[in-house]
C-alpha cells in the first residue's frame, strides 16, 4: 500500500516538473513514506530522519516531506509532529496528496489542475530494462476491523472503498503503459464495495479488471478468513487471468490467542476455509502470516501454531515477532510478557519448519515446465519472474524481456525460489 501511495506522489511531482534522482543528497525535495505496523519499521524512520536532518542543514532550501502511517489521519497530532520533526516541511497523511498539491500550487509548479483521482501511478521502470511489469492498485483504503494488535485503523483511518470506475480507469492507464500484472490492494481486500451502497463487490471487480486489454495476470491481497466467499473462490477458479493464489493471514494456531487478537474466527474455521479453497483450486498457492509472542501466548499455544502450519501446509509464511503499537488495545491493556529471546526462538523454529517443508514440497517440481511472467533482468542476465501461484523463478539463458510470459523447465528447486532453463 505504501508503494502505491508513493507512486501516486511520484506522478504528482512529475506532473509539476520534478524528476527522480539517484541519491538523496542531490534532491531538491525529499519525500519519506513511512510504515509503523511494526516497531522495527518505525525505528528505521527515526534513523532516516536523523540523516535527512543533516542534509537539510547542509541545504536549508531542500524541502522535506513526511508521508504515511507515522503522520496518520488525526489532524490534532500535526502540532506535536511539527515540534518533534522541525526539519520536516510537509506532513502528508496516508493516501492523501492534498498537502503536497497545495505546496506545489502555492509555488506555481502545477501546470495543469489534475485531480488526484486522475493521476494513475506511473510504473517505476526497472533500472536495467526501462519497463515495469507489475503495479499495485489500492481498492480499499484504511480498515475498520481493529484487531487488538493492529495500528492500521488508527493511522490509516476507517475502511473506504474506491469507486470501481476510478479503479478500472487507473488499471487501463497502467496496462496502456506496459504493465502486465495488477495487484489489487486492501487491508481486507475481500470487503471491497461493502461500504458503498450499489457498488460492485470484489469478485465482479476482479472479473472486470482481468478483462482490461493488455493485462496478463491479476492478483489481490490481503484477504481475511471471515470475508472470503464461495463466489470469490469461484471467480478466481473460472476467470482467465486471475492467478490461483490467496494470501490469508491466520496469525496464530491457538483459539485462545486468536480470541485475544479479536480475529473473529477459530482454528477450525480457518482450516475449513483452506479446504474449501483447495477443493475448487487444487493447485492454489497459499500464503499466510503468523505473529509469534503475542501477549499471553504460552509455549504450548505456539506448538499449536506449528501443528496448524503442518496441517494446512502453506506455500509461504510471513513471520513477525509481536511488538506493541501505540493506541492499540493490546498495547494499552495486555502485558508484553513473552521475552524477546523466546519470541526469536519461536520465529526461528517456525521458519526452520517452513524451510524443511518447502524443500520437500518443491522437490517434485524438478523437470516440470512452468509458466513464468518475466518481471526483471538480473545483473547476471538471468530473468526473474513468478509462476501463476506466485513461486519466484530465475530463468537462465533466455532472451525473454520483462512483460513476456514464457515456459521454462525447472532445473533446481530450493525452499524459497526455483531455477529454470528456457524451453
Q: What is the pLDDT of residues 293-333, one digit of tens each?
A: 999 999 999 999 999 999 999 999 999 999 999 999 999 99
CB neighbours of residue 146 within 10 Å: 14
**99-103, 106-110, 157-161, range with greatest mean pLDDT:** 157-161
Closest CA to 170 of 232, 123, 129: 123
pLDDT reading at 184 higher than 60: yes
Res. 148 pLDDT band, cuts 50 70 90? very high
Do 393 and 419 form a contact (C-beta atoms < 8 A)? yes
In angstroms, rounded to a whole number, what is the distance separating the alpha carbons of residues 322 and 37?
Answer: 10
The confidence band for 1, taking pLDDT boundaries of 50, 70 and 90, is: confident
Torsion of CA 361, 364, 367, 373, to 10 degrees: -30
Tell whether the model's pLDDT for residue 387 goes beyond 80.
yes
Q: Where are the domains of the chain?
A: 2-116, 118-363, 366-422
Please compute the mean of the pLDDT values over residues 236-259 and round it to a whole number: 98
Given this model, what pLDDT does residue 233 score? Answer: 98
> Cα–Cα distance between 259 and 380 in angstroms, integer?
49
For 155-177, the pLDDT digits (tens) are 889 999 999 999 999 999 899 98
CB atoms within 10 A of CB 198: 5
Q: What is the pLDDT of residues 400-422, one digit of tens each?
A: 999 999 999 999 999 999 999 99
Element of type H or E holding 392: strand 392-396
| pLDDT (0 to 100) of residue 128 | 46
**Which has the closest alpha carbon to 344: 313, 314, 315, 319?**
319
Q: For the residues 99-127, what does the mean pLDDT come to? A: 66
Find the length of the chain.
Answer: 423
Q: How far is residue 369's CA from residue 214's CA, in Å, rounded to a whole number?
A: 24
Q: Between the ranges 74-78, 108-112, 396-400, where is the mean pLDDT highest?
A: 396-400
Confidence of residue 337 (pLDDT cuts 50, 70, 90): very high
| Res 389: pLDDT | 97
Q: Does pLDDT of 116 surpass 90? A: no
CATH fold for domain 366-422: OB fold (Dihydrolipoamide Acetyltransferase, E2P) (2.40.50)
User: How far apart are the C-alpha atoms of 364 and 367, rounded to whole Å?
Assistant: 8
Return d(Cα 166, Cα 117) in angstroms, integer: 7
pLDDT reported for residue 147: 97
**106 vs 274, higher pLDDT:** 274
What is the predicted pLDDT for the residue at 119?
Answer: 55
Beta carbons of 389 and 363 less than 8 angstroms apart: no
pLDDT number for residue 15:
81
State the pTM of this model. Answer: 0.89
Which pLDDT score, from 0 to 100, does residue 257 have? 98
- Greatest CA separation for the chain: 62
Whether the predicted pLDDT of 358 surpasses 50? yes
Higher confidence at residue 96 or residue 374? 374
By DSSP bridging, strand 418-422 and strand 369-377 are unpaired
Domains 2-116 and 366-422 share a fold: no
CB atoms within 10 A of CB 282: 9
Q: What pLDDT is stored for residue 321 in this prediction?
A: 97
For residues 305 and 350, the answer to whether their CB atoms sit within 8 Å is yes
CATH superfamily of 118-363: tm_1862 like domain (3.80.30.20)
Short-list 398, 423, 379, 387, CA closest to 129: 379
Which run of H or E residues covers position 10?
helix 2-15
**pLDDT of the residue at 127:** 41
Q: Indicate if the pLDDT at residue 230 is higher than 70.
A: yes
For the chain, the average pLDDT equals 92
Task: Give 393 or 114, the one with higher predicted confidence.
Answer: 393
pLDDT at residue 85 in the model: 87
Most confidently predicted of 60-69, 78-87, 312-321: 312-321
Fold of the domain spanning 2-116: Rossmann fold (3.40.50)
Q: Is the pLDDT of residue 82 over 90?
A: no
CB atoms within 10 A of CB 204: 15
Amino acid at each position: 500500500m505504501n508503494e502505491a501511495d508513493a507512486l501516486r506522489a511520484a506522478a504528482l511531482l512529475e506532473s509539476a516538473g520534478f524528476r527522480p534522482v539517484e541519491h538523496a543528497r542531490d534532491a531538491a525535495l525529499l519525500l519519506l513514506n513511512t510504515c509503523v505496523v511494526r516497531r522495527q519499521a518505525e525505528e528505521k524512520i527515526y534513523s532516516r530522519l536523523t540523516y535527512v536532518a543533516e542534509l537539510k542543514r547542509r541545504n536549508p532550501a531542500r524541502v522535506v516531506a513526511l508521508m504515511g502511517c507515522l503522520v496518520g489521519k488525526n489532524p490534532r497530532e500535526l502540532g506535536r509532529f511539527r515540534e518533534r520533526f522541525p526539519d520536516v516541511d510537509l506532513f502528508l497523511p496516508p493516501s492523501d496528496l492534498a498537502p503536497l498539491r497545495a505546496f506545489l500550487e502555492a509555488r506555481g509548479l502545477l501546470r495543469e489542475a489534475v485531480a488526484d483521482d486522475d493521476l494513475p501511478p506511473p510504473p517505476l521502470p526497472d533500472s536495467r530494462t526501462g519497463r515495469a511489469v507489475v503495479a499495485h492498485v489500492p481498492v480499499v483504503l484504511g480498515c475498520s476491523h481493529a484487531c487488538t494488535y493492529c495500528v492500521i485503523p488508527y493511522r490509516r483511518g476507517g475502511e473506504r472503498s474506491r469507486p470501481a470506475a476510478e479503479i478500472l480507469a487507473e488499471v487501463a492507464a497502467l496496462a496502456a503503459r506496459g504493465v502486465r500484472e495488477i495487484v489489487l490492494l486492501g487491508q481486507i481486500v475481500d470487503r471491497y464495495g461493502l461500504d458503498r451502497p450499489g457498488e460492485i463487490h470484489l469478485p465482479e471487480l476482479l472479473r472486470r479488471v482481468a478483462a482490461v486489454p493488455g493485462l496478463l495476470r491479476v492478483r489481490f491481497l490481503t484477504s481475511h478468513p471471515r470475508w472470503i466467499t464461495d463466489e470469490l473462490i469461484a471467480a478466481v477458479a473460472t476467470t482467465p487471468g486471475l492467478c490461483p493464489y490467496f494470501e490469508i493471514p491466520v496469525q496464530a494456531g491457538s483459539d485462545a490467542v486468536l480470541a485475544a487478537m479479536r480475529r473473529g474466527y477459530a482454528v477450525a474455521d480457518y482450516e475449513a476455509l483452506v479446504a474449501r479453497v483447495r477443493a475448487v483450486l487444487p493447485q492454489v498457492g497459499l500464503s499466510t502470516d503468523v505473529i509469534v509472542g503475542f501477549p499471553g501466548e504460552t509455549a504450548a499455544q505456539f506448538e499449536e501454531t506449528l501443528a496448524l502450519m503442518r496441517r494446512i501446509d502453506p506455500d509461504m509464511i510471513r513471520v513477525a515477532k509481536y511488538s506493541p503499537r501505540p493506541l492499540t488495545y493490546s498495547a494499552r491493556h495486555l502485558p508484553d510478557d513473552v521475552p524477546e529471546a523466546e519470541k526469536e526462538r519461536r520465529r526461528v523454529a517456525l521458519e526452520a519448519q517452513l524451510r524443511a517443508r518447502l524443500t520437500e514440497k518443491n522437490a517434485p517440481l524438478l523437470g516440470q515446465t512452468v509458466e513464468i511472467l518475466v518481471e526483471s533482468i538480473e545483473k547476471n542476465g538471468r530473468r526473474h519472474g513468478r509462476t501463476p501461484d506466485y513461486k519466484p523463478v530465475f530463468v537462465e539463458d533466455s532472451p525473454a524481456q520483462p512483460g513476456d510470459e514464457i515456459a521454462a523447465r525447472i532445473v533446481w528447486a530450493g525452499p524459497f525460489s526455483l531455477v529454470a532453463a528456457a524451453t
